[in-house]
Amino acid sequence: MRRVFVLLHRWFGLFTAVFLFVAGFTGAIISWDHELDEWLNPALFRARSGSAHPIGPSTLLALVEAIERRDPRVRVKYSPLTIEPTRTLQLSVEPRIDPATRRAFDLGFNQLAVDPETGEIQGQRMWGEASLARENILPFLYKLHYTMHIPNAFGAEIGMLFMGIVASVWVLDCFIALWLSFPSRKTWSKSFAFRLQSGSARLTFDLHRSGGVWVWGLLLMLAVTAVCMNLSAQVVRPLVSLFSDLSKSPFDARTPHRPDEPVIARAQVLEVARSEAHRRGISRPPGGISFAQGVGVYGVGFFAPGLEHGDGGLGNPWLYFDARDGRSIGGEIPGQGSAADVFLQAQFPLHSGRILGLAGRVLVSLMGLVVATLSTTGVLIWLRKQRSRAGRS
């Protein structure tokens, strides 16, 4: 049995090594993507007007409407509802349909940075573009982390599916590696040791084996959460629904259709959302509004300025509304729902470390470097054994 597990660990490791090295290294960086992005691209984040007071929903929604009027090709997909002093208004945008061609306009960008005082567009970029330009480097690394920038095909997100398969193999290999790390009860303590004075070969082996043993639980957590996020619809949701009732997403019952103009305005939706939030006992202020044009759904998220990324806990609550009549069609409230609902809610906060706030992000960043190190040492051990076998031959 041990021989079989050794072979499985070897080939699983070689299959995943490059991808886990990239995912680990990029994961260590993107734990700080917003801070690094702002450092690299201050024009996208700091308003030139330098407004010294926070700006609220009514002003920002009026600015969003002005931007859409100014460029009829653009529809704002997401907008914050409050921004902190001196900050730009960060908008996610998408193209409208060209009446002449019945196809989406080619914008060349999907993010805008706007000075909230003057309405000036300070910068724009295509988030996720495969580019190492200064404004694109952090989004490029973020998307590389979970898709390897493998292009979509056949109506599927091939990159996400592939990395989900890699993560699934990683989950299996975690258990195999743990079993192999403890070959004997009498020598179990060696599996935790690092022989610093015994040469590079033994140190490389100890970094791979003992390093993995010390943080095994965290490695398994990263692997499982990666599977849950990349293969959610294909594997995880059907699987967890076998053990617990799983609430339907507000989008599940919506039939995709030709993009239409919403009947009600964002300001109207915001008023409905405030009432619904009060009814549900949500005490946080409305912090962002989104529109999914393919299904005609508004979403309103509730969080304080600067906390849109959900640092601490299971994230931010979101409520959803029909864009035709404003009626409530559901919500995602962290910590509420069935056991399966809460399990799925926890996956991104766990994987990113944001469930523990700043300390969690530091831990996950370090774990990214550990994953990259384990991948590298695994390949080095294999290469050394290959050379040894070749020498004996």
For residue 275, CA distances in Å to 206, 215, 278, 296 come to 58, 46, 5, 21
Tens-place pLDDT, residues 216-266: 999 999 999 999 999 999 999 999 999 999 988 887 766 665 556 788 999
| Half-sphere exposure for 214 (CA within 13 Å, toward CB) | 14
Tens-place pLDDT, residues 31-76: 999 999 999 999 999 999 887 778 889 999 999 999 999 999 999 9
Nearest to 145 by CA among 18, 20, 23: 23
**Amino acid, res. 164:** G
Q: Is the pLDDT reported for residue 332 higher than 70? A: yes
Please tell me the predicted confidence (pLDDT) of residue 199: 77
Helices 57-70, 266-280: crossing angle, 10 deg rounding: 150
User: Taking the C-alpha atoms of 29, 30, 32 and 34 in order, what is their torsion angle to the nearest 10 degrees?
Assistant: 140
**Which of the residue ranges 81-90, 180-189, 337-346 would you say has the lowest mean pLDDT?**
180-189
Residues 361-368: what's their mean pLDDT? 97
Whole-angstrom Cα distance, residue 98 to residue 95?
9
Residues 128-154: what's their mean pLDDT? 95
- Output the 3-class SS for the chain: CHHHHHHHHHHHHHHHHHHHHHHHHHHHHHCCHHHHHHHHCHHHCECCCCCCCCECHHHHHHHHHHHHHHCCCEEEEEEECCECCCECEEEEEEECEECCCCEECCCCCCEEEECCCCCCEEEEECCCCCCCCCCCHHHHHHHHHHHCCCCCECCECHHHHHHHHHHHHHHHHHHHHHHHHCCCCCCHHHHHCCCCCCCHHHHHHHHHHHHHHHCHHHHHHHHHHHHHHHCHHHHHHHHHCCCCCCCCCCCCCCCCCCCCCCCCCHHHHHHHHHHHHHHHCCCCCEEEEEEECCCCEEEEEECCCCCCCCCCCCCCCEEEEECCCCCEEEEECCCCCCHHHHHHHCHHHHHHCHHHCHHHHHHHHHHHHHHHHHHHHHHHHHHHHHHHHHHHC
Please tell me the predicted confidence (pLDDT) of residue 260: 63
CB 319 within 8 A of CB 305: no
Please tell me the predicted confidence (pLDDT) of residue 340: 94
Please tell me the predicted confidence (pLDDT) of residue 183: 84
Percent of the chain clearing pLDDT 90 (strictly above): 77
Q: Is the pLDDT reported for residue 303 higher than 90? A: yes
Please tell me the predicted confidence (pLDDT) of residue 257: 58
CB 12 within 8 A of CB 162: no
CB 271 within 8 A of CB 314: no
Please tell me the predicted confidence (pLDDT) of residue 258: 55
For 77, the token pair is 């997909």
Band (pLDDT 50/70/90 cuts) for residue 294 is confident
Whole-angstrom Cα distance, residue 160 to residue 143?
10
pTM score over 0.85: yes
Report which of residues 205 and 190 the model is more confident about: 205
CB 140 within 8 A of CB 132: yes
